[in-house]
Structure 1
Amino acid sequence: MAQQTDLFKNLIAHCKEYGFIFQSSEVYDGLSAVYDYGPYGVELKNNIKSYWWSSMVQMHDNIVGIDAAIFMHPKTWKASGHVDAFNDPLIDNKDSKKRYRADVLIEEQMEKIEAKIDKEIEKARKRFGDGFDEAMYRTTNPRVMGYVEAFEAIRTRLAAAMTNGDMAELKQIIEDLEIADPESGSRNWTDVRQFNLMFSTQLGNIAGE
């Protein structure tokens, strides 16, 4: 994780040095997670936009392009699914002050279990050679069966919690699995809260009109 963080920092430094991006309002202490495009960044963005427009619109006879307004009636965002879907269950670590998606932390733990299953299967494949039956091994080896059972139990709990919007259950899963902060190793978590990623905007001279 530390290596990935260093790589990301180096990438940001490179992009700033060569004029791809700059932190927005940097001379006024900046605005977190908001960036301005520099000379190369503008060209890169326009190239990507042009390629996307060509491949998704112009190369199809049954598709026409429009440039719709960003500001729309609230019911439009509701009907499109943005209001319901653009919500993330986030959890903070009290010691590192880092914020994470609770479901992603749990999914990463599931990936670790899958890695253990794959490791056991590879060991068995080397031991038994050409006669190795992976399907049978998965259903008969006690250790692999234990990993599979644990994986399925977590997946079932996670799916139910996400479907029901049960934030307390998400935190309980994290605590039951003893999931630690990837950076600090701390298990001192806040409650899971649902964060709406949509921005609220008011139109009119007086807010609320």
Structure 2
Amino acid sequence: FGIAQIGKSFRNEINPRNFTFRSREFEQMELEFFIKPDEVVRAQHPEVIADKPETWGWSEWHTFWVAQRLTWYESIGLPAAKLQKIVTAQKELAHYARAGVDINFDFPFGSQELEGIAARGNFDLSQHQQFSGKSFEYFDDEAKARYIPHVIEPSAGTDRIALAVLCQAFTEEEVVGENDKKETRVVMKFAPRIAPVKAAVFPLLRNKPELVAKARAIYRNLRREFVIEWDDSGNVGKRYRRQDEIGTPFCITVDFDTLGEKGPELKDTVTIRDRDTMKQERVGISELRAWLKSRIG
């Protein structure tokens, strides 16, 4: 059983620095995950302990949450190669803590902590019980035991995570632009699942009513399920660059092939351009929603 919360925290930070990484006011998110004390598990499941003498109880849960949090960071676009698991030395642990692991990320200004996962024993609830005068014990019907639950606590800085995502996503690439001139492409390579805008829809030309009407129909259909942008200003290349800069993973262009003017085989298909590879493919309009779902995650 766990309770998750997110909210404002404050500290007397003498030297705020590194943009939003270290500040006096920040967002923090925590999970208090309650587990049985080891002695209760030992009495209830001796066969499990016999099979896994080194990994049962609080240690197993602590390891579980470290793995879960690393997996989550990778799922939002932070690569495993830039994440470090730093185990707190026993002599550096708080007097009540059994173990601690920090998850660090390689920022442009160095490896810095995003989150700590601590095995805190029953210290928190014992302190609440002592100073409130109220019992924080729990009666476990299954184990037929009364105990103060122990806690595994992942605690992360939301602002730091957002900064890590932005640092990882920001990319400058040299590409060949108009008239075969080299130019710098600025792109935010967000993981599609967290990109603010999932796709953009363009008519190839804004002065062709038949293209605009078809593109508008696609736009209205997709925005029922996804965050979609409409853009018909300037040439398609400039529209691509604008979407690159805000991290839109896919751009959908309605062209004359969509109308079937060059043959029936491409009618009712659109061009989808991938932000990261800049490659294009034709996809049927009827398949667009499923196509996007499979790639956004």
TM-score by length of 1: 0.22
Which structure dedicates a bigger proportion of its chain to helix?
A: 1
Which structure dedicates a bigger proportion of its chain to strand?
A: 2
Quick check: which has more Rg, 1 or 2?
2
Q: Which has the higher contact order (CA 8 A, sep 6+)?
A: 1
TM-score by length of 2: 0.17
